[in-house]
Amino acid sequence: MAPILELRELSVSYETQGGARAVLSKLSLDVSAGEALGIVGESGSGKTVLVRSILGLLDPPFRTDHGTVVFEGRDLRQLDEQSFRQLRGGSIALTTPEPRKHLNPLISIGRQIVNVLRAHQTLAEQAARTRTIELLRAVGIPDPERRLAAYPHELSGGMCQRVIIAMALAHQTKLLLVDEPTAGLDVTISRQILDLMHELAVSHGTALMLVSRDLGVVAHYCRRVAVMYDGRIVEDAPVEAFFAGPAHPYSRQLLRAAAASRGKRGAEKRVDALAEPARTGCPFRPRCPVAVAACATAVPALQQVAAGRRARCLRAEALLRQELAA
């Protein structure tokens, strides 16, 4: 399927007193229409910056230096603020962690959704109200007629997240960016929210880009997974193949760390999970149990390691063979 979002060599840096620091380094990624892509990474990997740079929401000291963000054939970086605003909350929508902070505490939720509806299309007040009630019902808010008048503080975190999703769905959203959908929500509630997003995405043909540190979320709600480390994609693979045996040593560490049992470490050498990314050669080298001398020379390229799988590691093919043998 043709990609609806194409990122090409996107580079973002962060201005510090000691000079600029790269946050995203020449990141390239495609999202196909209707696809569910999971972006996995730990704090500092650049995954939230990635989401915000797609929407042109980066504020100084962050700066997009280079690259293109092509959505449905248009380069978003060339758009003026007016057209960008039409796009945000229209064809592309974003849900964030801490949903309550993203709702205006002084305006009822019904009014907030009506505002979103009328910002993008001419709609009579009454029609907008009716549509809002439909949307609230669609996201599973009980008694929507009465809830229109509710203020954000009267709703639970899960309900606020539903309101945010309702806003995202107010238009024919083609791409829904979901930042940390489970953060701050209880287990059963976050599961309800994920189910809801999944159903709505499938029924509307919306592509999902789900950014999470929780590999369990990605395993169950995504078809493809991209792993980020130090501002780069280090592995990009179909979900089944990835969880059966990741190709990048970092992905393997993440997967082992997330498991519900301790598992076997085997004969692998101990590494310091806290080591800072290396500034030369492969950034993951200081934490890598299988690094070799060649890893110190240059950042490895993101190359094909199997059908539909890419990994940024010199040892990836060897690791996959080893995995198959085991």
Residues lying near other proteins in the complex (CB under 8 A) are found at 42-43, 142, 156, 158-159, 186-191, 213-220, 239-240, 243, 253-262, 273-274
67 or 144: CB nearest other proteins: 144
71 or 242: CB nearest other proteins: 242
Closest to other proteins by CB, 80 vs 240, is: 240
Nearer to other proteins, 257 or 294 (CB): 257
> Is residue 208 within 8 Å of 35, Cβ to Cβ?
yes
C-alpha distances out from residue 7 to 76, 131, 191, 210, 213, Å:
10, 34, 30, 16, 21
Least distance to other proteins from the beta carbon of 244, Å? 8
Q: How far is the CB of 216 from other proteins (least distance, A)?
A: 3
State the first-to-last Cα distance of the chain, in angstroms, to the nearest integer: 34
User: What distance in Å separates the CA atoms of residue 41 and residue 39, rounded to the nearest whole number?
Assistant: 7
CB of 181 to other proteins, least distance (A): 11
Burial class (CB in 10 A: 0-12, 13-18, 19+), 118: middle
- Taking the complex as a whole, the smallest distance from the CB of residue 222 to other proteins amounts, in Å, to 9
Q: How far is the CB of 273 from other proteins (least distance, A)?
A: 5
Select 42 or 72, whichever has its Cβ closest to other proteins.
42
CB of 242 to other proteins, least distance (A): 9
CB nearer to other proteins: pick between 75 and 195: 195
Which of residues 51 and 54 has its CB atom nearest to other proteins in the complex? 51
Residues in the chain: 326
Q: 242, exposed or middle or buried, with CB in 10 Å at 0-12, 13-18, 19+?
A: buried
Q: For residues 63 and 191, which CB has a smaller minimum distance to other proteins in the complex? A: 191
